[in-house]
Structures are given as structure tokens and as C-alpha cells.
Amino acid sequence: MVRGIAFVAALLLAAAAYASGLERFQVYVRTTQSARADFDQQVFDRGGKRLQESKGTFVFLRPGRFRWSYAKPYPQVIVGDGARVWIHDIDLNQVTVRKLTGAIGATPAALLAGASDIDKAFELSEAGTRDGLEWVEAKPREREAGFDRVRIGLGVAGVEAMELQDHFGQTTLLRFTNIARNPKLDANEFRFTPPPGTDVLGEQ
């Protein structure tokens, strides 16, 4: 049965190779329940000057479960357990926790790990072809989303890049590599317990 599902998903993705970026993204959302990847992240100011660069790993399981692990330059872990989002700043020995509904809403994480009804939170449109990828633009319907738009770059492996532009003109670029779609995941990856002695802030 699993092989059959994988075969159907492969056929859909093959057909999507000839479709628009928006159609490819919709197929990706329908056929991808989980994923794992490495990422490189760069942040640029309004003038194009690079402010920050970081690396790490990302894994998600729909709906609402994900783990961002930043390894460099500052270790940080962000975990969505389906009910809450935990942000652990390791160097500061501090954890911030928020309810998932308030934290993920119209955020970039929702585009990857949220429910399938993404168009309720975002206005989606075509954004052309660039760097060998088909791009889709997502504008949050909520005014308080914290960013103006997200562009999603789709390639053979699915979502291979994201570009986020915030209200201050800063741009965050994410590039995903070593992408595994629909891997079997351990539920423990999406559980978080604050280490003893850690300051915990926010909603629990």
C-alpha cells in the first residue's frame, strides 16, 4: 500500500513538472506529509548587505509539528509539538513558549508544516522562473503576520528555497539541501521538555 501511494505521488510530481509554479506547490502540499532537510540561511538588509548567516536542519510532520535546529553560529532549537511552539536559546539558557495557533498562523512555518488549507492564511500567486526553480509568492492575509511576503522556490525535490521579506525591508534567504520527502519520523522529534534550570517565558 505504501509503495502504491509513493507511486501515485511520483506520477503527480512528474505531471507537475509541466505545470505552473502554483500548481506544483499545490501538488507538493497534497503529497508531502513530512520532510527532512539541511538548510543555509542568510539575512540581508534593505541595501543588500548580509547581516547574518546560519546553518542547521529542519524536519516537519503535518499538521503543526516541526523542528528547526540551528547549529551555527548560535545554537537554537524551535519545536512545534502540535499544540505549542518552543524556542530554546541555548546560549541564553532560556525557553520561550507560545500556543501553536497564535505562533504559526500566517507564518512561513505554516507554508511548510501547516494544514493543507494554506490559501485561508495566504494569498498565493505565480512568481515566475528563476535559478532553475518555479516560484510562488505567498502574501499573508493577516496584517500582523510580521512579514510582507514569502516566495517559495520549487524544484525536482519539492520546496528547495524560500525568500522572506519583512516590514523593515530585510530579506531572509533559505536554501534546502539533502531533502527527504515523506520519511518515517519518530514522534519524539516533536516533543520538547525544557532542560532543568532553564528560564521559561510565555504560555504553557
**According to the model, what pLDDT value does residue 121 have?**
76
C-alpha 59/C-alpha 2 separation (Å) is 21
**Beta strands 94-99 and 199-202, pairing class:** parallel
pLDDT at 82 (0 to 100): 85
Partners of 66 in beta bridges: 60, 80
All three cell numbers of 193, joined, read 521538555
Report pLDDT for 59.
Answer: 93
pLDDT value at position 1? Answer: 44
At 120 the pLDDT is 76
Cβ atoms < 10 Å from Cβ of 59: 20
Provide CB contacts within 8 A for 61, sequence distance 6+. 33, 34, 113, 185, 190
Instruction: Please state, in angstroms and rounded to a whole number, the distance separating the CA atoms of residues 199 and 188.
Output: 22
The model's pLDDT over 125-147, given as tens digits with 9 standing for 90+, comes to 999 999 999 999 988 887 766 67
Q: Quick one: pLDDT at residue 62?
A: 87
What integer pLDDT is reported at residue 4 of this predicted model?
46
Which one-letter DSSP state was computed for residue 69?
E
- In Å, what is the CA distance from 44 to each residue of 163, 166, 171, 191, 196? 11, 11, 5, 32, 36
Ranges in the chain, pLDDT < 70: 1-19, 101-110, 114-117, 144-146, 204
Local structure of 113: helix, strand or coil: helix
- Identify the CA nearest to 116 among candidates 30, 183, 32, 35: 30
Domains of the chain: 2-202 (2.50.20.10)
Q: Are 152 and 128 in contact (CB under 8 A)?
A: no
